[in-house]
Amino acid sequence: MVWDGLILPLARLIFYVSLGLAFANFVESLNWTHRIARLSRPLIRLGHLSSATGASFSMAFFSGVSANSMLAEAYDQQKIDKKELICANLFNSLPTYFLHLPTMFFITAPLIKGAALIYVAITFLAAVLRTLIILVVGHYLLEKKKYESVALAPDERVSLRQALGKTWQRFRKRLKKIVFLTVPIYTVIFVINKSGGFAWLEGFMASHLGILSWLHPQSLGIIVLHLAAEFTAGLAVAGALLDAGTMNYREIVLALLVGNILSSPVRAVRHQFPYYAGIFSPRIALELIVYNQSFRVGSLVVVSLVYYLFF
């Protein structure tokens, strides 16, 4: 139980965080940040974001860990301030969404069929809405930046050997932080989970769903399973109810959206906080998660209300 539930998942977490950190450090050591940022230059110009944020945004399409590691490095080196760090982390929600989109679609489509297209489209619109809001907020909140030329000056060019040496030096320093912070935090969350803490919290939330009386009665089963188990458990029930003709596409989509919104805070603490704390300081990690989840839930509530009222 401890081996499968704690040691192996913790080892995988440390490995992937370390791998993402090493890659981010390597890119930074080669002075490639502004080259990668060129891919998102029109967006970051509009939002008055820095090249470091642009590079993180581009990297987030491939690796969320590497993208966050880039932000942590930029913040530690004072290339970005606290305001931009928060904006940048929120700005990365769209590429992070695309990173998980194939998995989400191929899980939902076989179970809820056409409702999967509606559900994915709504969550996609929420991610786009978050990106647009951050661009507007950044435009008025952050100072306008001067952007570097793509070509490197002769004194900025770094050999592969120099980059690897610099990467290893930075990596060793950050690896200690990853181990000393991630291991105890992950262990505490594991103990809380095994002692029933999260189950109690999810049960408490599930037992106070009277405010959702406007939903189809069978929706509560989907939402409770979404809270108490995993996303696929709620999907399985939704698929069965859809096949039986008990609920239609609209009712299924609304139930899944509500389950997604209500389960977000608990899942963020359980799954997101240990890995964030290995990249950022625990205090900043907690702040970023609070901003991230609040913003995510807020955007989902807005698009869900539009769907409920007008479709």
pLDDT digits (tens, 9 = 90+) for 159-189: 667 667 767 777 777 677 667 767 776 777 6
Per-residue model confidence (pLDDT) at position 152 = 43
Cβ pair 24, 32 in contact under 8 A: no
Q: pLDDT tens digits, residue range 229-285?
A: 567 777 777 888 888 888 899 999 999 998 888 888 777 777 788 878 888 888 999
The parent domain of residue 195 ranges over 2-310
Residue 253 CA to residue 234 CA, distance in Å, equals 11
Q: Which segment of 7-16, 26-35, 125-134, 299-308 scores lowest on mean pLDDT?
A: 26-35
Number of domains in the chain: 1
Amino acid sitting at position 220: L
Per-residue model confidence (pLDDT) at position 159 = 63
Cβ pair 243, 257 in contact under 8 A: no
Per-residue model confidence (pLDDT) at position 88 = 94
Tokens 């610099």 locate to 166
Per-residue model confidence (pLDDT) at position 122 = 95
Nearest Cα to 54, choosing from 46, 64, 44, 45? Answer: 44
